[in-house]
Amino acid sequence: MKCKDLLIKGKAKSVYTTDTKGKLIVEFRDDITAFDGGKKDVLKNKGCHNAGVSAFFFEYLEKNGVKTHFFTMLDPYHMVVRKLEMIPLEVIVRNIAAGSIVRNYPFREGTLLDPPLIVIDYKDDARHDPMLNDEIIIALKLVTPAELIKIKKVALDVNRLLSVLLAAEGITLVDFKIEFGRKGKTIYLGDEISMDSMRLWDKKTGESLDKDVYRFEKGDVMTIYNQVAQRITRSVKKQ
């Protein structure tokens, strides 16, 4: 299978049409951005670490009953996926208070959120991805009430499955963001699950193992991404 036309060029990935109906190729580029694109860099090998981790997670989630867009990897940078009509929601699950929830609300960083918080933002860079509530989501007709229930259930299933897997490697899943899309009436998990879309802390040292290393210049991003990709994929292989 080969890339045909460029369908979407996002901040870190490019999506191509293919010669097979209903299938797309997602290229994980070496671009990294933060703060609404205000900070940008190109980091050699970053794309393949994120693609590798995403592919492992999608396979693991599929085995555990979560419907994802993942088919296969063509090479370390290119993933074959099901073409979805993406839903412009960023579904965030938070187990520990960190990041924007601490900046915008009176949570103290590091507070355990039990049960986990589900926060849903409107995916729109120009509007800085504003936080939604259920009423706004339904009023905007972004999803039906039944789809919203389904999306939240899948988000919590993904949280439970990934938390267990990462804990086995001594990593705390602090929070993560996922995106969903439709094919007909079926909702699939799309996009990526990687160090760019999760917040991960080392259980022993509390050290950041994710894009916060880049955002706040906490160390050498690629050394950390390389190490964490190896830890994660090793933990998946043990399952």
Binding site for ligand ADP (CB under 6 A): 8, 10-13, 15, 24, 69, 81-84, 86, 179, 181, 190-191
Minimum CB separation from ligand ADP for residue 123, in Å?
7
Q: Is 27 left (phi over 0), alpha (psi -120 to 50) or beta?
A: beta
Minimum CB separation from ligand ADP for residue 18, in Å?
12
Q: Which two tokens stand for residue 184?
A: 């007909």
Strand partners, 173: 200
Among the listed residues 77, 71, 73, 74, the one whose alpha carbon sits nearest the alpha carbon of residue 27:
77
Residues 89, 137 contacting (CB under 8 angstroms): yes
C-beta of 81 vs 101, nearer to ligand ADP:
81
Minimum CB separation from ligand ADP for residue 83, in Å?
5
- The residue number whose beta carbon is nearest to ligand ADP equals 10
The Cα–Cα gap between 192 and 201 comes to 19
Minimum CB separation from ligand ADP for residue 29, in Å?
8
The Cα–Cα gap between 173 and 166 comes to 7
User: C-alpha dihedral over 118, 8, 162, 173, to 10 degrees?
Assistant: -60
C-beta of 24 vs 162, nearer to ligand ADP:
24
Question: Where are the strands (E) in the chain, listed by range?
Answer: 6-9, 13-17, 23-28, 31-34, 39-42, 70-75, 78-82, 85-86, 89-96, 112-122, 171-178, 180-183, 186-189, 198-202
Q: Is 221 helix (H, G, I), strand (E, B) or coil?
A: helix
C-beta of 26 vs 97, nearer to ligand ADP:
26
Minimum CB separation from ligand ADP for residue 186, in Å?
12
C-beta of 51 vs 228, nearer to ligand ADP:
51
Minimum CB separation from ligand ADP for residue 119, in Å?
17
C-beta of 23 vs 150, nearer to ligand ADP:
23
